[in-house]
Amino acid sequence: MALSASHPARPKEATGCLVMADGTVVWGKGFGAIGSAVGEVCFNTSITGYQEVLTDPSYAAQIVTFTFPHIGNVGTNEEDLESQVESAVGCIVREEVTPESNFRSEQHFAEWMAAHGKIGLSGIDTRAMTRLIRLQGAPNAVIAHDPGGNFDLDALKARAAQWSGLEGMDLAGLVTRDGRATWNGGAWALGKGYRTVGGEGLPHVVAFDYGAKNNIFRKLAEAGARVTVVPAKTSLEDVLELQPDGVFLSNGPGDPAATGEYAVPVVRGLLERDIPIFGICLGHQILALAAGAKTMKMFQGHRGANHPVQRVGGTWAENENLVEITSMNHGFAVDGETLPEGVVETHRSLFDGTNCGISITGKKAFGVQYHPEASPGPQDSFYLFEKFVGMLG
Ligand SMILES: NC(=O)CC[C@H](N)C(=O)O
Would you call 111 a catalytic residue per the annotation? Answer: no
- Find out whether 285 is annotated in a ligand binding site: yes
pLDDT on residue 319: 72
pLDDT on residue 9: 86
Point out the ligand 1 atom lying closest to the alpha carbon of residue 280: 3
> In this model, does residue 13 exceed pLDDT 80?
yes
Task: With a threshold of 0.85, tell me whether the complex ipTM lies above it.
Answer: yes
pLDDT on residue 4: 55
55 in contact with ligand 1, CB cutoff 6 A: no
pLDDT digits (tens, 9 = 90+) for 157-201: 999 999 999 999 999 999 999 999 999 999 999 999 999 998 889
Specify which residues 230 forms β-bridges with.
208
> In this model, does residue 393 exceed pLDDT 80?
no
Kind and range of the H or E run holding 280? strand 277-280
> In this model, does residue 1 exceed pLDDT 60?
no
pLDDT digits (tens, 9 = 90+) for 83-122: 999 999 999 999 999 999 999 999 999 999 999 999 999 9
Query: Could you tell me the domains of the chain?
Result: 16-162 (3.50.30.20), 172-391 (3.40.50.880)
CA of 149 to the centre of ligand 1 (A): 34
> In this model, does residue 278 exceed pLDDT 70?
yes
Catalytic residue of the set 281, 284, 307, 356: 281
pLDDT digits (tens, 9 = 90+) for 302-323: 999 999 999 998 765 567 789 9
CA of 220 to the centre of ligand 1 (A): 20
CA of 24 to the centre of ligand 1 (A): 26
Distance between the two ends of the chain, CA-based, in angstroms?
A: 57
Task: List the one residue out of 304, 306, 368 whose CA is nearest residue 53.
Answer: 304
259 in contact with ligand 1, CB cutoff 6 A: no
Please state, in angstroms and rounded to a whole number, the distance separating the CA atoms of residues 112 and 353: 38
pLDDT digits (tens, 9 = 90+) for 53-89: 999 999 999 999 999 999 999 999 999 999 999 999 9
Calculate ∠ Cα 263-353-386, nearest 5°: 55
pLDDT on residue 139: 97
Would you call 356 a catalytic residue per the annotation? Answer: no
- Find out whether 149 is annotated in a ligand binding site: no
Task: List the one residue out of 265, 304, 290 whose CA is nearest residue 367.
Answer: 290
Instruction: State which amino acid sits at residue 360.
Output: I
Instruction: State which amino acid sits at residue 308.
Output: P
CA of 350 to the centre of ligand 1 (A): 19
CA of 172 to the centre of ligand 1 (A): 10
pLDDT on residue 159: 98
- Find out whether 39 is annotated in a ligand binding site: no
Would you call 17 a catalytic residue per the annotation? Answer: no
295 in contact with ligand 1, CB cutoff 6 A: no
Quote the DSSP letter at residue 11. Answer: P
pLDDT on residue 199: 84
The alpha carbon torsion through 44, 45, 46, 52 (nearest 10 deg) reads 0
Q: Whole-model pTM? A: 0.96
DSSP H stretches of helix in 253-300: 263-272, 282-290
pLDDT digits (tens, 9 = 90+) for 206-248: 999 999 999 999 999 999 999 999 999 999 999 999 999 999 9
Mean pLDDT of the chain: 95
Catalytic residue of the set 116, 145, 330, 371: 371
Point out the ligand 1 atom lying closest to the alpha carbon of residue 252: 3
pLDDT on residue 316: 59
Burial class from Cβ neighbours inside 10 Å (0-12, 13-18, 19+) for residue 84 reads exposed
Q: Whose CA is nearest to atom 5 of ligand 1?
A: 282
Q: Whose CA is nearest to atom 4 of ligand 1?
A: 330
| Cβ-Cβ contacts under 8 Å for 340 (sequence gap 6 or more) | 291, 292, 293
pLDDT on residue 3: 59
Band of residue 381 on the pLDDT scale cut at 50, 70, 90: very high
User: Mean pLDDT throughout 281-299?
Assistant: 97
SS3 24: coil
Point out the ligand 1 atom lying closest to the alpha carbon of residue 211: 3
> In this model, does residue 6 exceed pLDDT 60?
no
Give, for ligand 1, the residue of 210, 332, 373 to mutate: max count of ligand atoms closer than 8 Å to Cβ: 332
User: Mean pLDDT throughout 14-31?
Assistant: 97
Lowest mean pLDDT across 3-7, 65-69, 268-272, 316-320: 3-7
